[in-house]
Amino acid sequence: EDNMAEEQELSDSEEQQELSEDEKFEAWK
């Protein structure tokens, strides 16, 4: 939950990058 709050503070481009990293992590799991 804290992670989501931090993502909201990021800019759209930065948020997209973090989402991509999350997707890679999910796929890696």
Structural domain for 28, as ranges: 1-29
- Residue 15: the pLDDT is 62
User: 1-29 in b/e burial notation, b at 16+ Cβ within 10 A?
Assistant: eeeeeeeeeeeeeeeeeeeeeeeeeeeee
- Residue 25: the pLDDT is 78
Domain count of the fold of the chain: 1
End-to-end CA distance of the chain: 20
- Residue 27: the pLDDT is 79
- Residue 1: the pLDDT is 54
* Chain-centre distance for alpha carbon 1: 12
What sign results for the dihedral spanned by CA atoms 17, 19, 3, 5?
A: positive
pLDDT tens, per residue, the chain with 29 residues: 566 656 666 556 666 667 677 787 787 66
- Residue 5: the pLDDT is 57
